[in-house]
Structure 1
Amino acid sequence: MKKELFFALEKTAYAKGPRVPLYSICSVYGATAQPLKNVLIPLKGAATTVTALDVMARIAPLYPDYAITNLGPTECRVFMQHSPGSPLLKVLKVMLLCLVMFFGGAVAIMTFHEDVSMSQVHSDIYAFFTGAEQENVPVVSVPYSIGVAVGFVMLFGLYRRRKSRPTVLDIDIHNYENQLRDYLAAQGNRPDG
């Protein structure tokens, strides 16, 4: 009776070079892992799909007396990590991105308020509650502005909560990453790509 060896591929993995160690893309059970520490899987580009058959082909010569079984996904998408650039350049990019987002968001909000005549709405609210007509009403505009800011903070979860619940943004990012991974895996299995 043959001994058994089980492995489970990860869905995605990241490599720092043109070859990825086997233990970075899958977990192996049922045998000593010592011979597997030196097994490297070659990558064909910036994103490579490694199948369970590729892994079996690498493991089988090391364990000829074992029955090899895959317990996980049938393929793993391996992405080549690029070397990080200059830390100063990274900080400058983040600062530029923050400025663009801040001013872009400010212009979008101001354009929306101009389209719906928000200053007139604030004047109407003030007149409704006080009976006095006034053109600029900071007593209504300031709380409204604070409420918009607090709403953004709460929506995107920019403050720490005691409970570790995902925010709306966290869920959208998770869904996007899953869809991107599935798409890239499908593209990697095409005969032409």
Structure 2
Amino acid sequence: MEKTVYIRLRNRVFVRPHEKVYLKDIAQIIAEDVLHKQLSQLLIYSISDQDRNIIIIDVMQVIAKIAQFDSSIDVQVLGPSQTIVEVVDRKKKVSPILFILTWFLLFFGSMLTIMNFHEDVSMQTVHQKLYKMMTGQDNEKPLMFQIPYSIGLGLGMIIFFNHVFKKRLNEEPSPLEVEMFNYQQDLDQYVIMHENKESMKKLHDH
């Protein structure tokens, strides 16, 4: 009797070196309870020393494994046709010295960038002219504009990036997060196209 199983491969999973990758790790499975438990423990791949940090598991490999387990199973595939398996070591502790050096580099780099931009657009001259228009007096350091502007610049950056340290202001992603997501999507697509041996057919394969 034919049994129908629905599987949906995950886009990306993370594993440790020398781990075994089971079907439950790389896919969502819909099947009868007994069959679901059996398929969940179906071995798909074993990480070895010869593997690099990224492995592509194609849906055809998964279907072949299921067919070896039980040829009467009708596999219905939903979603992506490949899973990216990334082999990662245990997280290393961040060095406090490296963290402080990186923080100083970013802080002073950002500070100099903003200062150079303000110098290029003559921001101080603009503030001086605005001060004279509103008060009729000359002032080389119009703090009435410069202090609120500096505070507003910092608040604007917080709102733009939608984060205060690790705390998110709202559920809407920031422009930086969207760009990082798009970059990750392009990177994943590149990896799938160049690392997936199942989809690469060479001349000598004819």
Same fold (TM > 0.5): yes
In structure 2, the gaps of 5 or more residues are 202-206
Structure 1 residues 22 and 108 mapped into 2: Cα distance closer, same or farther (>3 Å)?
A: same
Q: Measure, in 2, the Cα distance between the counterparts of 1:88 and 1:4.
A: 48
1:5 Cα deviation after fit = 2.2
In the alignment, structure 1 residue 187 sits paired with structure 2 residue 191: no
Give me the TM-score of the superposition, normalised by structure 1. 0.86
Structure 1 residues 126 and 167 mapped into 2: Cα distance closer, same or farther (>3 Å)?
A: same
1:40 Cα deviation after fit = 4.2
% identity of equivalent residues: 26
In the alignment, structure 1 residue 12 sits paired with structure 2 residue 12: yes
Give me the TM-score of the superposition, normalised by structure 2. 0.81
What is the correspondence of 1:17-96 to structure 2 with a 5 Å cutoff? 17-18=17-18, 19-30=20-31, 31-34=35-38, 36-37=40-41, 39-43=43-47, 44-85=51-92, 87-89=93-95, 91-96=96-101
1:170 Cα deviation after fit = 2.6
1:112 Cα deviation after fit = 1.0
Q: Is the 8 A contact 1:11 1:73 kept in 2?
A: yes
Structure 1 residues 70 and 164 mapped into 2: Cα distance closer, same or farther (>3 Å)?
A: same
Deviation above 6 Å: which 4+ runs of structure 1? none
Q: 2:145 aligns with which of 140, 145, 154?
A: 140
Secondary structure of the corresponding residue to residue 60 of structure 1: helix
The one-letter code sitting in structure 2 at the alignment partner of 1:139 is M
1:129 Cα deviation after fit = 0.8
Q: Is the 8 A contact 1:36 1:59 kept in 2?
A: no
State the partner residue of 1:171: 178
1:100 Cα deviation after fit = 1.3
* CA RMSD across the alignment: 2.2
The one-letter code sitting in structure 1 at the alignment partner of 2:121 is V
How many residue pairs end up in the alignment? 189
Q: Is the 8 A contact 2:23 2:39 kept in 1?
A: no
